[in-house]
Amino acid sequence: DALYNIQGWGSGYFSISQNGHLLVKPQGEEGPALDLFKLTQAAQAQGLRAPLLYRFLPIVGHRINKLNAAFRAAIDRFEYQGAYQGVFPVKANHDRALIQAVVEYGAPHSFGLEVGSKAELVMVMSQLAGRPPGTNLVCNGYKDAEYMELVLHCRELGMNAMVVMEQYSEVDLLLGTARRLGVRPSIGIRAKLTTRHNGHWGSTSGDKAKFGLRAREIVAAVNKLGDEGMLDCLHLLHFHVGSQITNIRMVKEVMREASFLYAELVQMGASMRYIDCGGGLAVDYDGSFTDSSASMSYTLQHYANDVVSAVQEVCIQRGIPPPTIITESGRALASHHSVLVFDVLTTVPLAAAPQPPLPLPLSPPPQHTHTHADASALREAFNDASYFKDEAVRAFKLGVLSLEERAQVDMMFDAACERIRQVALAHDLPLPDALRPDAVPHTRMYHVNMSADFRSAVDSWAIHQLFPILPIHRLCEEPSVPATLADLTCDSDEKVDRFINPKVGVGGGEPLPALPLHPLREGEKYYLALFLTGVYQEVMGSVHNMFGSLNTLVVRDARPGAAAAAAAGQRPANQAHPMTGEGPAARAAGSGAWGRCRLGWGGSWRVFLRGRVARLPAMKADLALHP
Ligand code: PLP
């Protein structure tokens, strides 16, 4: 654990078993543990080959529960008279099983959904139709007349759909559509706050943000609604300053500005009921509990406390009724639930892959005695060798050199580099940069079976976001090989050579250039896993190099009511008995082939395999989790 800092970033959902396997606790620390390695072997035996994407849906329930508990505690602590009702932003991950889980686990908490486009709205309408009336549905993003109409139809269907004005021009569009349909809308206004978030995802904040109304536009919108006799329809103030807010000071500042804005709207005559604080609640990817971009220096409870207390203070000061507080946390709710398991195919030393011998004559190297070897002489020797190699390539392109002669030049260049290495070693001199294997000696490159960056962890490539990666077995053995990861695509970009540094929080520093791994064993699979990728990663990944959808294994609470009970913070009654019958997931899945696998952690499980063709063939399995 110390090597990979699982305790730091795992939030209690991951740990290591006595026999060195990675355990997942989908219902949190108190719940049953799944052996991820055995599960992967069982899946493999059922025909589900790695790379394998696991969705541990009970983790989503646990996160929703934790978020609500934190707000409940804050509301009690500050004697806040309003309520908290979160919504999940669908853009974070629109996977159907995940959205269904959010709706199911969220029901006891009146948890709703947020959409940011017309397509998302259509998708969630099918999920919310038939649910108890009044579920909050916050509608953000660019809107045309059709979008407006759909939102108003949602109200007719019993959802509490609120349409948020992101641009001033949307006010007229909404008023026209509402008049035509004869429906009174519930309106929100998104404000451009002046407080700016400076992280990777901060461009959604500040005066120049893409969406939101400036102060003068807000006043004009309120006046227009007043003129139309619709000011009683203005219910919600929304703002979103960006994702992954790493320092709580930002939350404090934003909440103060927004709370005063809310109070002003009340005092201008709007029937305000909701303050929607957007997303931003961070995830501690490296487990360092610092305000580096891969971490956060506050807890969920600190966040809830600061949100509630800021609104409370302004409401008391201005003598206005406290609103229902909404947050739109995506990252904090769904990152932990998905784990990507992939296998290692081969490894090569990073320094120089072994070259095939060639029966070509190579003239003996000139005998130099190195009386004054220094770093500059080595660099000069390397530059000369590189220059003559490039000249030879040019000669080949002009048809002067044959392929065999070019191969000979390759051999001479390799021999020159080897000689430079020997001299550097003998005289303890630094190698020219191009000859350095890596900052870590003996580093090997592990070729892994996936598309790391474009398909499964876009942010790792695009903005150098760190994600925890570690083996899921052999965790009792010393990992003796420093490794970088190269995936199967042909792009030099698609490698992982920055890893979380377990010492970051205790005086260490930069991300590690290599990950400690185990040597491969003949005939044995070696599995690694990538964690905390449940939002924004695989949903944004393209089909780069035509890599298809991943095989997916969805782990759910099996017994009816278990999900809701877990979300409400109760433990279901029968804790001891493992699986004996079909779960709702299995029943819902309909026809298909049943595979039964007995796994080694005390329960038996049914794995339902469902063939699914999504662009390229991928398999999907449902696994029902019995507490
Ligand atoms: N709400 C809005 C309007 C967003 O644009 C986003 C994403 O950036 C979110 C909520 C979710 O943010 P986060 O994942 O940081 O909670």
* Three-class secondary structure of residue 386 per DSSP: helix
pLDDT in tens, 203-214: 555 565 668 999
* Spatial separation of the C-alpha atoms in residues 471 and 351, rounded to whole Å: 23
| Same domain, yes or no: 412 and 483 | no
Comparison of pLDDT for 161 and 369, the residue scoring more: 161
490 is catalytic: yes
| Same domain, yes or no: 111 and 227 | yes
Q: Is the CB of 279 inside a 6 Å radius of any atom of ligand 1?
A: yes
pLDDT of 596 above 80: no
Which residue's CA is the nearest one to ligand 1's atom 10?
Answer: 279
Work out the average pLDDT over 145-162: 93
* Spatial separation of the C-alpha atoms in residues 310 and 550, rounded to whole Å: 44
Work out the average pLDDT over 427-435: 81
CATH number at residue 119: 3.20.20.10
Ligand 1 centroid–CA 75 distance in Å is 23
CATH number at residue 588: 2.40.37.10
| Same domain, yes or no: 120 and 213 | yes
pLDDT in tens, 118-142: 999 999 998 887 777 878 999 999 9
Set 139, 277, 490, 597: catalytic member: 490
* Three-class secondary structure of residue 129 per DSSP: coil
pLDDT in tens, 42-62: 888 888 888 899 999 999 999
How many residues are present in the chain?
A: 627
350 domain-assigned: no
pLDDT in tens, 476-513: 999 999 999 987 766 656 678 889 888 765 544 678 88
pLDDT of 196 above 60: yes
Work out the average pLDDT over 410-425: 87
* Spatial separation of the C-alpha atoms in residues 255 and 311, rounded to whole Å: 7
365 domain-assigned: no
pLDDT of 457 above 80: no
pLDDT score, position 487: 77
Yes or no: say if 544 and 455 are a contact pair by the CB < 8 Å rule.
yes
| Same domain, yes or no: 147 and 251 | yes
Which residue's CA is the nearest one to ligand 1's atom 6?
Answer: 279
| Same domain, yes or no: 615 and 582 | yes
Q: Determine what percent of the chain is predicted with pLDDT higher than 70.
A: 77
pLDDT of 311 above 80: yes
| Same domain, yes or no: 471 and 577 | yes
251-260, 475-484, 614-623: range with lowest mean pLDDT? 614-623
Comparison of pLDDT for 304 and 44, the residue scoring more: 304
Q: Is the CB of 465 inside a 6 Å radius of any atom of ligand 1?
A: no
Q: Determine what percent of the chain is predicted with pLDDT higher than 90.
A: 52
Atom of ligand 1 nearest to the CA of 92: 14
Q: Is the CB of 51 inside a 6 Å radius of any atom of ligand 1?
A: no
Atom of ligand 1 nearest to the CA of 331: 14
Q: Is the CB of 331 inside a 6 Å radius of any atom of ligand 1?
A: yes
Q: Is the CB of 337 inside a 6 Å radius of any atom of ligand 1?
A: no
| Same domain, yes or no: 454 and 419 | no
364 domain-assigned: no
Dihedrals phi, psi of 258, to nearest 5 degrees: -70, -35
pLDDT score, position 161: 96
Distance, first Cα to last Cα, the chain: 26
**How many structural domains compose the chain?**
3
Most confident segment among 2-16, 562-576, 610-624: 2-16
120 domain-assigned: yes
Atom of ligand 1 nearest to the CA of 332: 16
Q: Which amino acid, 170?
A: E
Q: Is the CB of 498 inside a 6 Å radius of any atom of ligand 1?
A: no
Q: Is the CB of 92 inside a 6 Å radius of any atom of ligand 1?
A: yes
Most confident segment among 18-22, 155-159, 368-372, 426-430: 18-22
- Among candidate residues 410, 435, 460, the one where a domain is terminated: 435
Q: What is the dihedral of CA 22, 25, 26, 27, to 10 degrees?
A: 180
Residue numbers of the domain that contains 384: 375-435
Ligand 1 centroid–CA 590 distance in Å is 35
pLDDT in tens, 510-559: 788 899 999 999 999 999 999 999 988 776 665 565 666 778 888 888 65
Atom of ligand 1 nearest to the CA of 204: 5
* Three-class secondary structure of residue 255 per DSSP: helix
pTM: 0.80
Work out the average pLDDT over 286-308: 94
